Amino acid sequence: MSNVLAELSALEPFRAQVREWLADNLPADWRERMTGADEADHVVFQKAWFRKLMEPGYAAPHWPVEWGGSGMSFAQQIVLYEEIARAGAPRLILYFIALHHVPGTLLHWGTEEQRQRHLPAILAGDEIWCQGFSEPNAGSDLASLRTRAERRGDHFVVNGQKTWSSNAHLARYCLLLARTDPTAAKARGISYFILDLQTPGVTLRPIKQMTGASHFNEIFLDDVVIPAENLIGPEHGGWAVAQSTLSSERGLSVLELAERMREGFKLLIAAAKVPTRAGRLPLEDDEIRRRMVDVRTRIEALRLLVNNQLSAVLKGEAAGVEPSMIKLYYSDLLRDFTELGVSIGGIEAQFLQGVLMGGANETGYWMQDYLYSWAWTISGGSSEIQRNIIAERGLKLPREPQAA
Amino acid sequence: MDFQLTDDQQALVDAVQAILADNADLPQSERLTYCCHDPALQALLEDNGFLGAARSIGPIEAALVVHETAKSLFSIEAMVCGLVAPMTLPDVELAGPVALVTERDLSKAIRNLTVARTLLVDCGDDVVMLPVDQAEVVSVPTIYGYPFGRLIALPDLAGGQRFVGKGAALRQWWRVGIAAEIAGAARAAIDFTIDYVKQRQVFGRPVGSFQSVQHRLVQRHGTVRAGYYLAMRAAWSGSVLDADIAGAHAVQGIQALLFDLHQFNGGMGVTLEYSLHFWTYRIRALQAEAGGITGMALDIADKRWPEPSVPALASEGC
């Protein structure tokens, strides 16, 4: 149908190579080991899997060769992420910020010293990073953040509070946004820093979620000193730097998630073949069957929306509002998918179980999956913000007037 | 993978749109009707080869023609004569327009029968083709945006031309056609509504500047966009599963749109003099033709997961 398809077809030998490597190297018992695993074991396993993936160059396929990455073409990365997802391999969730946001930021805005200091360490598996963007009163409206960084000669002194920082309690460094010019208009007075989380004055408080897990953290910053050499990009120019951070993924993460969801559908089928307490099979229930068809069709629709965005990237076209459409579609679908799992599982799905650490968003522990799906309609730009973006930039609807 | 149109496909779409733009206005006498079928417009599209795209170019192009013609206020029969029939019976020349019915529904009202010259009957394994004698057809009044008709007497299927083993293909392409036609009608209805909410002022600002309106429109727009891609993929791949998925998504996903668009057009949205109903009622007709929201889903579920205890399905997965 297109050059894109032809390009992917030409990569079939590479696909076979990746598939074979995964078959040989993915620990067969990893789900068993990571289900209900404690945090220390999870970190050890993530580091080991990261280093394993580095051997054939699969952990950092998008990094340039001169920085230790594989320098794979975008089409190769598509194939790689598809195969990793189809194999049901662990997600490198502890390394997400380090692998995507850090290079996307430092390679564009960072100094040579910053790159030399951090990029090799990341690929050695030694550095876990987190993000310090959101604040208690600045989530979707990120530009209203109030954490203050005052310049004092060769360093900044930072005071404020960050929140929703995933895996900060396991991280060494943080990509931090703070206000350096309180007199400037919202987005213009912000700067972007590398924060060493071991600096005196940094206090972390894990947030206990309703699922029972503690994935996110609050970060309290009290007179934290950050050397000026840790400023990324121009002083007061951090907003533009943050845009580079947030646009660094180009659709591959959601490709992986969509492909994992396809695989996860098999869990729904398996669950629907387990008799309920009343002795009925959910798979014989017409309403369950109707909802399964609905979810199954939407998974395919999601994949097509993702394909279309990836095609645009391959052709070098601007993404437009496609990422927002896909994020919205995915998070709505994930909620309905996992809710169906809860419906199928009945009360048996609602007892506390061990969580699969580093797994997909569909693990078969349906209540955990369902509750965690709610995070997806909020994080990374809430569904309401995505709808605003699509309405204004995609459908060209008039903006809602600013509040007085 | 890539659903951006090629230059040739874009040229085809542009050409269809140009013809439809030249024939966009309903005659004054038809403004308060439920359905407007213009034989001259149907003939124009046929004479210019657009309804022969499946044979002369391919199924994607035929599906694109269905999608584009579904945007017209006029009821145009492109789905069966342009896509379903040629893909099911590639070696058979049919006189269009063509009506389509399942054998068990022969006594019921049939979409497009009053304008059809040929009737295709889904007889399970086989397909039977019958010429339509309009003297044997009575018009059925309906709000559904298509000309519906009923056969005065049940036809003698033995007297028609039977195509053995073509039933499954007919049902597959029927679903692709419904998905493409719903996607086109829904797209036109959304575009029409977006224009309206940009212009219509309430409380000193456009209706479309309220987030309560924007967000629901965005949701519907996303569903329609996804439905379009699914329809085109099903046309491209020729896969039964893709056709089922496209059909199910179109029929189920579109439901919320039907209410929302009328709601956003306010009081005018529920009047006959307004155009919105041409698209939304047609979508309802297509939903019903597909078996209804639940019926279609269950039919697909029965195909995918016939017996829960059959172990083979576990390996097939989904």
Subunit contact A325:B225, Cβ cutoff 8 A: yes
**CA distance to A216, B8, B9, B230, per residue, from B5 (Å):** 43, 8, 6, 14
Give A289's contacts in chain B (Cβ within 8 Å): 297-298, 301, 305
Residues in chain A within 8 Å Cβ distance of B206: 397-398
Residue B312 in contact with partner chain A when CB distance is under 8 A:
no
Tell me if the domain spanning A3-91 has CATH number 1.10.540.10.
yes
Q: Does B211 touch chain A (CB under 8 A)?
A: yes
How many Å lie between the alpha carbon of B161 and the closest alpha carbon of chain A?
35
Give yes or no for residue A21 having a pLDDT over 50.
yes
Domain assignment of residue B143, yes or no = no
The answer to whether A60 touches A102, Cβ cutoff 8 Å, is no
B209, B233, B248 member nearest A401 (Cβ): B209
**Shortest distance, CA A75 to any CA of chain B (angstroms):** 12
Contacts of B186 in chain A (CB under 8 A): none
For residue A229, which phi and psi values (nearest 5 degrees)? -65, -10
Nearest to B229 among A308, A386, A388 (CB): A308
Is the pLDDT confidence value at A327 over 50?
A: yes
The pLDDT of residue A2:
59
Q: How far is B196 from chain A (nearest CA, A)?
A: 11
Q: How many angstroms separate the CA atoms of A209 and A313, rounded?
A: 36
B1 at A interface, C-beta within 8 A? yes
Which residues span the domain enclosing B247?
Answer: 168-304
Question: Pick from B117, B120, B110, B113: which is nearest to B96 by CA?
Answer: B117
pLDDT tens column, A349-401 = 888 889 999 999 999 999 999 999 999 999 888 999 999 999 999 999 999 88
Burial of A75 (0-12, 13-18, 19+ CB in 10 A): middle
Separation between Cα atoms, residue A358 and residue B156, nearest integer Å: 64
Query: Does residue B205 form part of some domain?
Result: yes
pLDDT band at A25 (very low <50, low <70, confident <90, very high): very high
pLDDT in tens, A107-128: 999 999 999 999 999 999 999 9
The answer to whether the beta carbons of residues A167 and A379 sit under 8 Å apart is: no
Q: List all residues of chain B from 3 to 42 with a beta carbon under 8 Å from chain A.
A: 3-4, 6
Is residue B310 one of the residues assigned to a domain? no
CATH fold of the domain at A252-394: Butyryl-CoA Dehydrogenase, subunit A; domain 3 (1.20.140)
What number of other Cβ atoms are within 10 A of residue B152's Cβ? 11
Q: Could you tell me if A123 and A152 are in contact, meaning their C-beta atoms sit under 8 angstroms apart? A: no
Q: Does B211 have pLDDT greater than 60?
A: yes
- How does DSSP classify residue B83? I
Q: Does B128 touch chain A (CB under 8 A)?
A: no
Kindly tell me if the per-residue pLDDT of A4 is higher than 90.
no
Q: Are residues B1 and A311, on separate chains, in Cβ contact within 8 Å? A: yes
Is pLDDT of B269 > 80?
yes
Return d(Cα B209, Cα A162) in angstroms, integer: 32
Residue B234 sits in a domain whose CATH number is 1.20.140.10
Which of A1, A290, A387 is facing B1, going by the closest CB pair?
A1
Q: What is the pLDDT of residue A3?
A: 67
Nearest CA in chain B to A3: B2
Q: What pLDDT shows up at residue B316?
A: 41
| Per-residue pLDDT at B308 | 53
How many whole angstroms separate alpha carbon A163 and alpha carbon A185? 23
Mean pLDDT of A312-337: 91
> Residue A147's pLDDT is what?
97
Is residue A145 scored above 60 in pLDDT? yes
What is the number of structural domains in chain B?
A: 1
pLDDT in tens, A45-103: 999 999 999 999 999 999 999 999 999 999 999 999 999 999 999 999 999 999 999 99
* Chain A contact for B262 (CB, 8 A cutoff): no
CB pair distance less than 8 Å for B252 and A8? no
Q: Do B2 and A395 touch (CB under 8 A)?
A: no
| B138 sits in which H/E element | strand B137-140
Domain membership of residue B6 (yes or no) is no
Select from B132, B45, B127, B130 the least CA-distant residue to B88. B127
Cβ distance of A292 and B301 shorter than 8 Å: yes
Count of C-beta atoms within a 10 Å radius of residue A378:
16
Per-residue pLDDT tens over the stretch B81-118: 999 999 999 999 999 999 999 999 999 999 999 999 99
Q: How confident is the model at residue B30 (pLDDT cuts 50, 70, 90)?
A: confident
Closest residue by Cα to residue A333 from B253, B97, B101, B269: B253
* Average of per-residue pLDDT across B31-40: 89
Question: Which of A338-352, B92-106, B261-275, B298-312 has the highest mean predicted lDDT (pLDDT)?
Answer: B92-106
Q: What is the largest CA-CA distance in chain B?
A: 67
Active site (catalytic) residues of A? 249
Nearest residue in chain B measured CA to CA from A387:
B215
B178 in a domain, yes or no? yes
| Preceding omega of B97 cis (within 30 degrees of 0) | yes
The answer to whether B211 contacts A269, with C-beta atoms less than 8 Å apart, is no
Distance CA A135, CA A158 (A): 14
- pLDDT for the residue numbered B2: 60
Q: Which residue ranges does chain A devote to CATH 1.10.540.10?
A: 3-91
Inter-chain CB proximity A398 and B206 less than 8 Å? yes
Q: Is residue B141 part of a domain?
A: no
CB contact under 8 A, B229 and A4: no
Tell whether B176 is covered by a domain. yes
Which residues in chain B (222-251) have CB-CB distances under 8 A to chain A? 222, 225-227, 229-230, 233, 236, 242, 245-246, 248-249
| Tens digit of each residue's pLDDT (9 = 90 or more) over B115-163 | 999 999 999 999 999 999 999 999 999 999 999 999 999 999 999 999 9
| CATH of range A129-239; options 3.30.710.10, 2.40.10.220, 2.40.110.10, 2.60.40.2470 | 2.40.110.10
Mean pLDDT computed over every residue of chain B: 92
Checking phi first, is residue B181 left (phi over 0); if not, alpha (psi -120 to 50) or beta?
alpha
B222 → closest Cβ in A286, A293, A328 = A328
Residue A261 has a CB neighbour count (10 Å cut-off) of 22
- CA pair distance B157, B104, nearest whole angstrom: 12
How many of the other CB atoms lie within 10 Å of CB of A97? 26
For residue A392, CA distances in Å to A331, A400, B213 come to 20, 9, 12
Average pLDDT in chain A: 93
